[in-house]
Amino acid sequence: MRQRNKPWAEEMFAEHPQFVPTTPSERKGNWNDVFQNNNPLHLEVGTGKGQFIIGMAKQNPDVNYIGLELSSSVMVSALEKLIVEDVPNVRLLNENAQDLQSLFEENEVSRIYLNFSDPWPKNRHEKRRLTYKTFLDLYRVVMSPKGEVHFKTDNQGLFEYSLHSFSAYGMTLNHVSLDLHQSGMEDNVMTEYEEKFSSKGSRIYRCEAKFRI
């Protein structure tokens, strides 16, 4: 769905540096200083309107969360939520996932969440999928040796593709679910898309993938 352009979004980001850090590339390797603690750092790539990351941060106050979102018109909705909730362990970055290495030092991130990513179903767009091998290369660099990628989608084709991509890369798969909401998983925090699709009876697919040391 095409999002309505919100030209005032970047001005709003600038007005709230406590939630949207300025010059984030200068924080590389020092994100614990931003949060003023040594808690593990979890990153959501494609944070959308922020429901998931804010929910996770409230559920896990001993973890620092960063939400990365390319669209400023989408991310401003996450910022609006964050201003109301005032959750101290969340920061938002209006950045491209291709630039992860300019934002994070090697081994700085403990976990990456990929939630309802664009499936890019056409073969010629394969390289744009966030589970394509070049993105896995980026994740591996910024993640700690025991770090995990947690992936959720309603798109069966993307899920099957991603399982193959993770496996071909040599990653270990855990907790693979073909119907998350019937799996008995506790403490699942839903995204806006997840609520929408599951309410219509769509299956939610989920897995965890870990790089081999």
* 157-190 tens-digit pLDDT: 999 999 999 999 999 999 999 999 998 888 999 9
**Mean pLDDT of all residues belonging to the chain:** 95
Q: Quote the CA–CA distance of 13 and 134 in Å, as a whole number.
A: 29
pTM: 0.95
- 179 carries an active-site annotation: no
- Per the DSSP assignment, residues forming a β-bridge with 7 are none
Task: Using pLDDT thresholds of 50, 70 and 90, give the confidence band for residue 1.
Answer: very low
DSSP character string of 118-153: ----SGGGGGGSTTSHHHHHHHHHHEEEEEEEEEEE
Under 8 Å CB-to-CB from 87, ≥6 apart: which residues?
Answer: 54, 57, 58
Q: What six digits make up the tokens of 18?
A: 């406590």
* 70-123 tens-digit pLDDT: 999 999 999 999 999 989 999 999 999 999 999 999 999 999 999 999 999 999
* 3 vs 49: which has the higher pLDDT: 49
User: Of 118, 137, 154, 179, which residue is the catalytic one?
Assistant: 118
